[in-house]
Chain A
Amino acid sequence: MPAAYPLPSDLSPATVTNTASLLRIIALALISGAAIASRLFAVINFESIIHEFDPWFNYRATKVLASQGFYEFWNWFDPTAWYPLGRVVGGTIYPGLMATSGVIYNLLHALNLPVDIRNICVLLAPGFSALTAWATYMFTKELKDESAGLLAAAFIGIVPGYISRSVAGSYDNEAIAIFLLMFTFYAWIKALKQGSAFWGTVAAVFYFYMVAAWGGYAFITNMIPLHALVLLLMGRFTGRLYVAYSSWYAIGTLSSMQVPFVGFQPIRTSEHMAALGVFGLLQIVAFAQLVRAHVSSKQFQELLFTAVISLGLIGFFGIVGLTYKGWIAPWTGRFYSLWDTGYAKKYIPIIASVSEHQPTAWPSFFMDLHFLIFLFPAGVVMCFRTLRDEHVFVIIYAVVASYFAGVMVRLMLTLTPVVCVSAAVALSSLMDTYLDPTEPNAEDDTSDSSSTHPTGTTPTTTPATPATNKKAKKNKEKEKEKESTGGVLGELVSNVASSAVAAKSAPTAEKGVFGIDTRLIVLLNSLGLLLFFVVHCTWATSNAYSSPSVVLSSTGSDGSKNLIDDFREAYHWLRQNTAEDAVVMSWWDYGYQIAGMADRPTLVDNNTWNNTHIATVGKAMASPEDIAYPILRKHDVSYVLIIFGGLIGYSGDDINKFLWMVRIAQGVWPDEIQEPNYFNRGEYRVDSEAAPAMRDSLMYKMSYYRFAELFGGQQPVDRVRGQHVPIQGPTLDYLEEAYTSENWIVRIYEVKKDDVLGRDLKIANAFNQGKKRKRTKPVSRRKAISA
């Protein structure tokens, strides 16, 4: 076997192995560093601040946990959320995230490191992304080898699809959940490979952690049984499968029921039934195997198999029957919407109204995964080539996650790890082939090639040739200087690949690569791709995913950067200028932020558990003032907060969300609120052509109240909708403007108290403006006389 390029031959195998493991550790450390560093864009560009919406609640909950201890947190009833219903926080959250930060916080304080809880929360996601990279490395290593593992770790470390949910400050459940997901899968694969109850238990414990941390645990709950079932159907039942699955399921299910929010769901809802069914099936199959071991009659085996099948059927029908009886809850709406993308829009507008629940647009696949999306199918095909149990797992994972990612933007997150893994497998196979210095030689026979091999090791017995390793490492070092991902490029030629090449040297020799030029072309190409990937990731991270959305930034015409801090300005105003128990009504998107930053009770928030309550807010916003006012008073609302982007062109404002409010309200009060009334001949307009219901609605009035005054007599322009709103703006009788932020993004209105004379506020307002009232006549004289 001639070498395409010379390799140093004076290295002992031990040195090579040691250096290799050292370099692996360095590479992993560098990958972790890169993963953490690239997530800090948000902190550098803005500041150390909690992002978006849900994280604000998590942050608030963590503060409670850190200051009052776990038991108080467990029993925490939040009277300020969902006023006046309140929220039993302890029983309605996944406490894993808060518990994690709480533990870190207490640990650091025990070490006399007085770190602010906010900084822990902000930096938790980047920290865990490093762990995710490590878990992915371990997972991929099981699949192929260390080099693929390092590649996968590098990919997951900087891929935008994962960064989008884990930048610094994005203190959300997903921040730790992806690590737990990967590690649970790793432990599962490990348990399956070894048939070890220990790894099964580890998988169960991490599964428990995952259940405590993220609602997406249902993904694991169904992935592992699916994998087990597929293996069973492929005739790959082994004792190992039995041990791994049984120990995982028995401990995992019991432990998952410890989380109050999950409760008895694992045995009561349909989402979890697949796991139970597979568990039962495995028991039966295992027993059948045992019996078969003792009895060798063929006919008997057949009998057993019919028994197995009939038992399986009985179990299935039993579950269906229980579902009908109501003992097992049928699938929830969110689950249905995974199968029928139109379902949510029809029946549960509140789910459909969330932008993350929309189907994914195809450019976002490229945006989030870049060239990995092209390597991904190749990696899956590679898995088919060496179809061990774990490869089956990756294939199933790939298929299922691809489907889900297509249905919901949010589930792109679960697809990302498998894309990284299979892309790494594909790329590392490519590298293996093209970095392998041995050249195929049709003329030379096996002995020839082995003798030309620099180290003289026999390929058939020693799969990993030290020389190859060395060379690869050199490459690696060079590339590491260039870029962080490149660091893994030339990682060890894998055991599997080289055994595939070397062990079957005679047949593969014909399929190898000649010369150094072809190698260079291919390698430089892939190097270029990796470089572009890094550039793209950096760009996407810094520009698209690092905005806290609490603080906005805009770029001036001269390229200077302006920060738009209206949200905090307005929330701070609320905190400073209103009574502590003043209830603030806003659309639910802002509930957590108001609670977190302004510390005021809210009617609805991002934990959208009560559709009716949200619909009530929607109705109040969509109704004319005189209908909305009693609703506001009934709920003790003191202030109404809306987001208005018309002045500076902030498109995520409430007028654009308004149709969802109408739809949600319509779902509850179909007689009073009708979506078509808000359209003028099928068009959604805010200008002078706006539909009457639209113009009368509280939301419209609050948005454009006094808007025209800004334009000094000119026709005012809404910069989001690009429409001219009427010069004669709307008037308000039941509310009065309390505060409008600098760029008019946040407008706060105070709800007027009852008139001191008990008049209708509209009349009282007219009186105050000095308007003459129509002369009234005594009412119902006739009755008065007769009475």
Chain B
Amino acid sequence: MRLLSSALVTLLALTKLSFASSSSGDSVLVVLDPSLDRENYSIFFGGLEKRGYSLTFRAPKDASPAITDYGVPNYDHVILFAPETKSYAQDITPQSLVGLLSENTNLLIALSPKQTPLTSLATEFSLILPPPDTPLISHHPARSEPQTTIPVPVSSSSPILTPGIPPVWFTGAPHALGSTPMLVPILRAPAESFAADSTSDADSDALVSASEKGGEGLWAGSQMGLVTGFQTNVNSRVVFAGGVKMFSDEYARKELPSGEAPGNALFVKDVAAWVFQEKMKLRIDAVDHHRVGESSAPEMYTTNDEIVYTAHISAYDSRTSTWKPYSGIDDLQLEFTMLDPHIRTSLPVVAGSPGTYQVQFRAPDRHGVFKFVLNWKRKGYSYLESSTTVPVVPPRHDQYPRFLSAAWPYYAGAISTSVGFFLFSALWLAGDVKGERKKGSKAE
């Protein structure tokens, strides 16, 4: 049922492809705290609507519209801009939000230095938040804004972001990143920033002493994340932003200390594009495998067969809202495994046919139930996983070579014995008759 409905949703999404840029649908629920002015986020929300999303707004404590009905998500994407809200309506709990992710709904979540239910949610994504009320503070560069309003330079190494985004204004809490490989760091804190438990600068001594103890309890430096994405095992995406203000019109328009325009508008657009599955969205269209010289997949392979394996991969193009063959992967690998990989080979793209990756290899001399395994997981990109089970069987009894030349003496021996037997029998019977005659004549 669930599958069916999700398929339906996908179908619906496909029909709306003409005006939606997301690969997974265009309905967005925005849970906006009443304390935040919607008008202050018009650039962000307006940009989304311009790209074809239909936004539905609701306050955290409203009961409707519900996020899910009977366990089926009602929206394709959810934006949670309620960083300081302590209590939500029944249907929004950390558990239900994780549930949404497993149902392929994407989340954009804004955090804050306050302790809220979302804090414990972030923990599940192996984001480690500093103690409550310790916002990010930086004294550099010199500026007129408070120390908690920080221009953060954007690293251009992340493929999520458009290269060359100017620094963005940020206010909020940083977070340390856990060890999960599913995290996708998008924006890191400036090296000279730190988290302190006061908006005044009074406790900076404590920070210094903490740093002297070897960094114990220190929330500082560029290892902190400010905006971090996370891609789940089912390829749904979630982004945690340390503060909600960076999405605001106010910050988008605020000039940087250097006098340039900030990169906020472009940055949040890129972040939204990633989290709403517009970019870096790949999928395996089809895999097929067959013996060399054949065209369809056999029911089972024989050991030492030459096998051709082909994968067709396409990427989502948000401009045309279509899937197009994608040849950009150069480190794709194929494994042929039974418990352990027996064969691991690179799966190169076929020149001249876009999106087709093909390799030919020889099945191991081992029978059993093997799997073709494709497992390509790169930060930011959709995970490509495929597993096809095929039995590899020993040759049939008549597939072994027969009548080898080395065995000719044996064949000759066996045949000569048989021939000898027949000759002997014939002679014996003839002799028998003769013998009887002789005997008979003697008797006579």
Contact = CB atoms under 8 A, between A and B. Distances in A.
B443 interface: no
A634 B339 contact: yes
A111 to B, nearest CB: 30
B176 A768 contact: no
Contacts of A562: none
A757 interface: yes
Nearest to A785: B215
A757 B215 contact: no
Interface in B335-391: 338-339, 367-371, 389, 391
Interface in A752-786: 754-759, 763-764, 767-768, 770, 772-773, 775-779, 781-782, 784-785
Contacts of B178: 776, 779
B233 A770 contact: no
B98 A757 contact: yes
Nearest to B223: A784
Interface size class of B (residues with CB under 8 A): 35 or more
B369 A85 contact: yes
Interface in B93-117: 94-95, 98, 101-102
Contacts of A776: 123, 128, 178
Contacts of B9: none
Given A77-B394, A84-B370, A778-B176, A785 B338 contact: no
A782 B211 CA distance: 9
A592 interface: no
B219 A778 contact: yes
A755 B338 contact: no
B367 A785 contact: no
User: Main secondary structure on chain A at its contact with chain B?
Assistant: loop
A79 interface: yes
A83 interface: yes
Contact of B369 (A86, A773, A778): A86
A581 interface: yes
A91 B367 CA distance: 13
Contacts of B394: 77, 88, 91
B47 interface: no
Given A86-B369, A756-B232, A757-B98, A77 B391 contact: yes
A514 B19 CA distance: 117
A754 B377 CA distance: 15
Interface residues of A, number: 39
Interface string B379-416: 00000000001010110110000000000000000000
A770 B124 contact: no
B182 A757 contact: yes
Contact of B338 (A85, A758, A770, A782): A85
A768 B214 contact: no
B274 interface: no
Contacts of B396: 75
B128 A83 contact: no
B124 A759 contact: yes
Given A88-B367, A758-B180, A74 B124 contact: no
Given A758-B233, A772-B120, A777 B223 contact: no
A79 B300 contact: yes
A635 interface: yes
B234 interface: yes
Contacts of B125: 757
Contact of B368 (A86, A601, A772): A86
B396 to A, nearest CB: 4
Nearest to A778: B176
A662 B133 CA distance: 53
B233 A86 contact: no
Interface in B191-231: 214-219, 221, 223, 230
Contacts of A77: 300, 367, 391, 393-394
10 contacts: A84-B368, A91-B394, A755-B233, A757-B182, A757-B230, A758-B233, A775-B123, A776-B178, A779-B176, A782-B215
Interface of A: 71, 74-75, 77, 79, 83-86, 88, 90-91, 260, 581, 601, 634-635, 754-759, 763-764, 767-768, 770, 772-773, 775-779, 781-782, 784-785
Closest 9 CB pairs of A and B: A778-B176, A781-B215, A79-B391, A77-B393, A84-B369, A756-B102, A75-B396, A784-B223, A86-B368
